[in-house]
Amino acid sequence: MRRRDFFRNTSITLLGSSFFPIHKLQAKNYPPKTARNIIFMVSDGMSIGTLNLASLLLQRKEGRQSHWLSLYEEEKVSRALMDTASLSSLITDSAAASSAWGGGVRVKNGKLNVSEDGTHHTPILQKFKAAGKAVGCVTTVPITHATPAGFSVTNASRGDMHEIAEQYLPLKFDVMMGGGREYFPPGLLARYEATGYTVVKNRDQMLQLNKTPALGIFNENGLPYALDHIQDITLQQNIPTLAEMSKTAIELLNKNKQGFVLQIEGGKVDWAAHANDAGALIYDQIAFDNAIKVAIDFASKDGNTMVIITTDHGNSNPGLFYGDNANQQFDKLQHYRYTNEWILNVVNKSFTPAQLIERIEAAQGIAITKEEAASILVHYEQLDEAGVYNPRKLPFRQLAAIQSSYTSIGWGAMDHSADYVELAIYGPGRDLIKPFIKNTDLHYLMLQATGIKNN
């Protein structure tokens, strides 16, 4: 961060008067009150179909509604639609989306709080840290990834994650947890420890944390998908869930008498959508929903915490589509044991159709045909499938297309969409939200809700 830009863009004092237009929606349950804490929750890349599919699965498998939609049913939140566009496109990426929230200004896709003229916009967590609040991020993808980075730093490229890991160090944020060990070489971790950080690398170490600052790095890149995590006792012992990370972070940050601001990201929802992986998508959305329960349970007892629940953009527009056996087809997802990534990662040129059929049936209870298996295996002769978060060029598109006839789940694409997205706000400050907003509006709403002025 540039020193002159910091002082030009931020002057933080207690707010004496409102600068953000107030629209009262269901405000009778919440008299005007300053929020001491903010928990900002992002299911990255969540099209409305993703929220819908997770809700339907929970209703049919567990006989209950999702925690997110229960908040709607019980009228505990104010609800809005949000325009997610970036400066360069109607269809944002996660860097520009998080920068809109983080810096309050729309920037081009790929940028982190840096405008075309070179202006660096001070990120929201730096503002709250300067105001005396404890701050942090937890995520299921690398902690250096676009969504946490957009709340934390300025950088001309979201892809420069080694530099972002370096940028975090002098900021001394209180809690940072997720994946991304590859961006924190031993020498850098030693420097974190030298500045007072407790560095933890597995679930048990995380659960023993009792002070800040804390850095938790639990995997080389992203954390495992929730569905694969559920089936693997070693993963369960070593890698915390998003709900567990969220609970630990809240407990640590809440020790600060001036309050805290925490971003919680279900980042692998986006990766699953890019892969058209229905099992990965739905169960990671449910894992995010479990983190919502952690946040709301805390906020309901605390009484001074605003919880913002949203997504940065849609992705791939999944949905359950009409058919005579759609209910029964969809119910197959209840018995999934592993993701498409788990299936395809071990497949190679030597696999036979019979072996692939057996692997898919063991993982998901679906018996594809010999012809369908052969069409997937052809791909391993070329390994030419493009796609985001698909470095091994696995045939996600081909497998998803075959699965659609067995599950009734279809996809619109394998990338982000321009959809307006869901936004829900719980607790003090929920009356500040209008029914339709731009993503940049949330930056100023957070400042107003906490009684902090931005000059």
Local confidence band at 452 (pLDDT 50, 70, 90 cut-offs): very high
Q: Give this prediction's pTM.
A: 0.92
Q: What gap in Å lies between CA 420 and CA 316, rounded to an integer?
A: 14
pLDDT at 26 over 80: no
Quickly state the pLDDT bin for 21 (edges 50, 70, 90). very low
Phi and psi for 191 in degrees, rounded to 5? -70, -35
Mean pLDDT of the 201-221 span: 98
pLDDT at 381: 83
Residue 14 has pLDDT above 70, yes or no: no
Q: What is the pLDDT of residue 445?
A: 98
**Who has greater pLDDT, 12 or 32?**
32
Is the pLDDT confidence value at 5 over 80?
no
State yes or no: pLDDT of 17 exceeds 50.
no
The per-residue pLDDT for range 313-356, each reduced to its tens digit, is 999 999 999 999 999 999 999 999 999 999 999 999 899 999 99
Q: What is the pLDDT of residues 120-164, one digit of tens each?
A: 999 999 999 999 999 999 999 999 999 999 999 999 999 999 999
pLDDT of 29? 46
* Tens digit of each residue's pLDDT (9 = 90 or more) over 55-82: 999 999 999 999 999 999 999 999 999 9
Judged against a pLDDT cut of 90, whether residue 27 lies above it is answered with: no
Looking at residue 30, what is its pLDDT? Answer: 41
What's the pLDDT at 94? 98
> Would you state the pLDDT for residue 427?
98
**pLDDT at 6 exceeding the cut of 60:** no
What the chain holds in terms of domains, given with CATH numbers, is: 3-318+420-454 (3.40.720.10), 338-410 (no CATH)
Per-residue model confidence (pLDDT) at position 455: 62
Averaged pLDDT for residues 39-50: 99
Mean pLDDT, range 224-232, rounded to an integer: 98
| Whole-number pLDDT of residue 448 | 97
